[in-house]
């Protein structure tokens, strides 16, 4: 009798294990849309950024540091050596390679605002060019890219003024340049009312990071099916084939030969 009961229990355990294994085998993880992965590179994570942060997130942080040190420069206008030091700090956040003496110990993140903005723009355009991109992404990305160029051009002007300040020996000129640099760093973040209509963001020249963030959030919120934060295994597992097609390196059917590029 005991042997019969014992066998019955063992039989039930085996059946449960078989069913469990069968169910797990049927569970598959739905890969995200390629277009959403590119958006994730801008907003969630990118392999080469500090702490693998999203490219646009890095741009936002670099911009905040730049504005902070531009403010320090203006506040220390009585001491030209401090004004120049903080201006170098601003340049470090913009393009670290411009101040090689502090490339590793400057206040910026070390990636650079301009590079972060250009790379963000590239990946948003990659999203629009993806085969699975929605009309929403295709339309929004092109407009976002156009507005991004305004911020990048403003940053290049800021850099030119910063380099001029460092070369100047005129106290009066240095103070004027420091004030202008501070204004531009603030406009990079907040935007500004370029046409005087009382609203920031109605025209292209108004744009700063706040307006860009709102637009990309709107694009994400308008996605159907909804956009979801992309896991790092997909963010760091995207490759571009020699044909130009994007796919995942985890895909067993994908050959990474023939010039496949790990993204």
Residue-wise pLDDT for 53-110, tens only, equals 999 999 999 999 999 999 999 999 999 999 999 999 999 999 999 998 876 678 999 9
Q: Are 240 and 263 in contact (CB under 8 A)?
A: yes
For residues 109 and 150, state if they share a domain: yes
**Sorting pLDDT into bands at 50, 70 and 90, what band is 19?**
very low
The pLDDT of residue 168 is: 97
For residues 206 and 253, state if they share a domain: no
Q: What is the pTM of this model?
A: 0.84
Query: Burial, 150: exposed, middle or buried (Cβ in 10 Å; 0-12, 13-18, 19+)?
Result: buried
Nearest-angstrom CA–CA distance, 128 and 114? 21
Determine, yes or no, domain membership for 114: yes
* Between residues 259 and 76, the one the model is more confident about: 76
The pLDDT of residue 21 is: 43
**Sorting pLDDT into bands at 50, 70 and 90, what band is 194?**
very high
Query: At residue 251, does pLDDT exceed 80?
Result: no
For residues 197 and 256, state if they share a domain: no
Total structural domains in the chain? 2
Determine, yes or no, domain membership for 7: no
Average pLDDT score over residue span 118-138: 97
For residues 78 and 208, state if they share a domain: yes
For residues 111 and 217, state if they share a domain: yes
For residues 61 and 119, state if they share a domain: yes
For residues 132 and 184, state if they share a domain: yes
List the domain range (segments joined by +) for residue 75. Answer: 34-230
* Between residues 180 and 9, the one the model is more confident about: 180
* Between residues 28 and 162, the one the model is more confident about: 162
Nearest-angstrom CA–CA distance, 50 and 111? 7
């Amino acid at each position: 009798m005991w042997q019969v009961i014992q066998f019955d229990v063992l039989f039930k355990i085996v059946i449960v294990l078989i069913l469990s294994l069968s169910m797990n085998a049927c569970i598959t993880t739905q890969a995200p849309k390629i277009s959403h992965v590119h958006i994730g590179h801008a907003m969630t994570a990118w392999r080469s950024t500090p702490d693998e942060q999203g490219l646009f997130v890095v741009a936002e942080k670099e911009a905040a540091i730049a504005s902070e040190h531009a403010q320090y420069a203006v506040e220390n206008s009585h001491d030209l050596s401090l004004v120049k030091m903080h201006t170098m700090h601003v340049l470090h956040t913009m393009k670290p390679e411009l101040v090689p003496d502090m490339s590793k110990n400057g206040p910026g993140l070390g990636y650079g605002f301009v590079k972060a903005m250009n790379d963000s723009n590239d990946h948003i355009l990659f999203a629009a060019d993806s085969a699975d991109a929605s009309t929403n992404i295709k339309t929004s990305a092109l407009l976002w890219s156009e507005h991004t160029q305004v911020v990048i051009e403003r940053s290049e002007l800021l850099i030119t003024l910063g380099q001029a300040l460092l070369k100047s020996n005129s106290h009066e000129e240095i103070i004027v340049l420091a004030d202008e640099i501070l204004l531009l760093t603030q406009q990079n973040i907040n935007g500004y009312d370029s046409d005087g209509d009382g609203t920031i963001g109605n025209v292209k020249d108004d744009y700063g990071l706040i307006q860009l963030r709102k637009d990309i959030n709107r694009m994400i919120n308008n996605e159907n099916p909804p956009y979801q934060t992309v896991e790092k295994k997909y963010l760091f597992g995207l490759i571009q084939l020699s044909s130009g097609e994007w796919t995942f390196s985890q895909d067993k059917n994908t050959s990474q030969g023939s010039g496949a590029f790990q993204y």
